[in-house]
Structure 1
Amino acid sequence: MSLKSGRSRSSTGTPSILKKNSTLKKRLSELVNASPKVRFQLPHAKKVQTILSEYIQTNDPKQYLSLVCFIRDAELPDKDISDLLVEATECISLLNQDLRLFVEALLSVRWTDRNETVVTEYQSFIVNLLSAHNYHTKIVIDSLVSQFLPGQTRVNGQLSQVITTNYVELHKLINILLKVVPMSKDFLRQSIIKYYPYYNKPLIFQQSYLKNLLSIIRYQPSFRPDILHLIFSKLVIMDVNAPKEIIEQKMEDEDMFPMDDIKSVKTIQTTYTLVDRGELGTSLDTCMDMVLDYILEECNDDQGNLDWSKTKNLYRDLVSVFDKVVLPTYGTHHVQFIMFVLCSLKPALTEAFLNHLWRNVCDLNVPVVLRQAAVSYVASLVARALFVPLSMLKGTLQQMAEWIHSYAAHQDGLDSVNTDVRVHLVFYSVCQSLFYIVAFRHKDLVASRKDVAFLQSLQLGKMVTGRLNPLRVCQPAVVKNFAAVTRQYQLAYCYTVIDHNERNNLPTIHQDGKGARLISDNLLTDFFPFDPYILEQSSRKVQPHYRDYHEEMWSHSSEVDHKENQEDDDFLDNSHEFTSTNARNKFSYGSSPGFKFKA
Structure 2
Amino acid sequence: MTTIQSAAAPPISTNASHVVIGDEISSHRKRPIDEFTESATKRMKPDFSHQMYSRLIRSALDSLDQGDFSAIDTLTSQVNMNPAKSDSLSIGSITVILRLLNQEISRLDNRATTPLIQALLNYNWLGHLENPAFVKSYSTFLTVLVSGIPKWFNEVVSKLVSGFTSKTDTELYQLHKTLKYLIQISPTSFNLLPLILRDKFPNKAAPMDDMVNYTKNLLALLSYCDDLRYPIWSLIVEKLINLDVELQNQIDDVDDDDLDAALNDDEESNARATDNDISAMSDISTVVASDAINDICDAEEVASDMDNDEDDDDSLMDDEENYNAEIHSISDLSAKLDSIMKLIFEKTESSFTPEGLESGNGVKLFSTLTSIFKLYVLPTHYTRCVQYLMFHMVQQQPDLTDSFLVVLLDVVFNATEIIANRIKAMQYVSSFMARAKGLSKEQLLSVMKYLMAWCNEYVTEREKEVGDGNGGMDRFKMLYCVLQGLMYIFCFRYKDLKKEDNDEEWELRLDKFFNKMIVSKFNPLKYCNESVVLIFARIVQNVDMCYCFSIIEKNKRERLNGVRNASANSDSSENRFESKQEFLDLEAYFPFDPLMLKNSKKIVNTNYIEWQSSDDSEDSE
Q: CA deviation at 1:261?
A: 8.6
Contact 2:412 2:422 in 1 (8 A): yes
Q: Decide which moves more: 405-414 or 369-378.
A: 405-414
CA distance, structure 2, for counterparts of residue 498 and residue 101 of structure 1? 78
Aligned to 1:435: 487
Cα gap change, 1:536 to 1:56, in 2 (>3 Å): farther
Aligned to 2:360: 309
What does 1:188-587 correspond to in 2, within 5 Å? Answer: 188-243=193-248, 248-251=260-263, 254=266, 256-257=268-269, 262=274, 276-300=329-353, 307=358, 309-414=360-465, 416=468, 418=470, 420-446=472-498, 448=500, 449=502, 451-452=505-506, 454-456=508-510, 459-505=513-559, 521-524=581-584, 525-553=587-615, 579=617, 585=620, 587=621
Deviations 1:4-62 (A, max 9, x none): xxxxxxxxxxxxxxxxxxxxxxxxxxxxxxxxxx96579x98844333432453154x4
Contact 2:357 2:363 in 1 (8 A): no
Tell me, yes or no, if structure 1 residue 74 matches structure 2 residue 82: yes
Q: CA deviation at 1:256?
A: 2.8
SS of aligned partner of 2:247: coil
Tell me, yes or no, if structure 1 residue 183 matches structure 2 residue 188: yes
- Count of aligned pairs between the two proteins: 497
Fraction of identical pairs, as percent? 24
SS of aligned partner of 1:504: helix
Contact 1:268 1:276 in 2 (8 A): no
CA distance, structure 2, for counterparts of residue 305 and residue 133 of structure 1? 40
Cα gap change, 1:540 to 1:357, in 2 (>3 Å): same
Gaps of 5+ in 1: 1-37, 151-161, 511-518, 554-577, 588-599
Partner letter of residue 614 of structure 2? E
Cα gap change, 1:274 to 1:478, in 2 (>3 Å): closer
Partner letter of residue 165 of structure 2? L
Q: CA deviation at 1:275?
A: 8.3
SS of aligned partner of 2:128: coil
Cα gap change, 1:288 to 1:247, in 2 (>3 Å): farther
Deviations 1:459-515 (A, max 9, x none): 1112122222222222211001111122233333221221122123367999xxxxx
What does 1:110-189 correspond to in 2, within 5 Å? Answer: 110-115=124-129, 116-150=132-166, 163-189=168-194
Cα gap change, 1:457 to 1:82, in 2 (>3 Å): same
Q: CA deviation at 1:419?
A: 5.8
CA distance, structure 2, for counterparts of residue 267 and residue 331 of structure 1? 25
Cα gap change, 1:335 to 1:305, in 2 (>3 Å): same
Aligned to 1:566: none
CA distance, structure 1, for counterparts of residue 193 and residue 356 of structure 2? 33
SS of aligned partner of 1:501: helix
Counterpart pick for 2:67 among 32, 36, 58: 58
Aligned to 2:109: 96
Q: CA deviation at 1:387?
A: 0.6
How high is the TM-score relative to the length of structure 2?
0.73
Structure with larger Rg: 2
Q: CA deviation at 1:346?
A: 0.9
Contact 1:401 1:458 in 2 (8 A): no
CA distance, structure 2, for counterparts of residue 419 and residue 434 of structure 1? 25
Partner letter of residue 214 of structure 1? L
Contact 2:441 2:496 in 1 (8 A): yes
SS of aligned partner of 1:552: coil
SS of aligned partner of 1:79: helix
CA distance, structure 1, for counterparts of residue 67 and residue 517 of structure 2? 89
CA distance, structure 2, for counterparts of residue 492 and residue 144 of structure 1? 66
Contact 1:398 1:458 in 2 (8 A): no
Q: CA deviation at 1:418?
A: 4.9
Counterpart pick for 1:84 among 81, 91, 97: 97
Contact 1:267 1:277 in 2 (8 A): no
Contact 1:148 1:167 in 2 (8 A): yes
Cα gap change, 1:127 to 1:492, in 2 (>3 Å): same
How high is the TM-score relative to the length of structure 1?
0.76
Contact 2:44 2:92 in 1 (8 A): no
SS of aligned partner of 2:126: coil
Cα gap change, 1:396 to 1:359, in 2 (>3 Å): same
Cα gap change, 1:546 to 1:540, in 2 (>3 Å): same
Deviations 1:166-187 (A, max 9, x none): 1111111111111112112222
SS of aligned partner of 1:219: coil
Aligned to 1:561: none
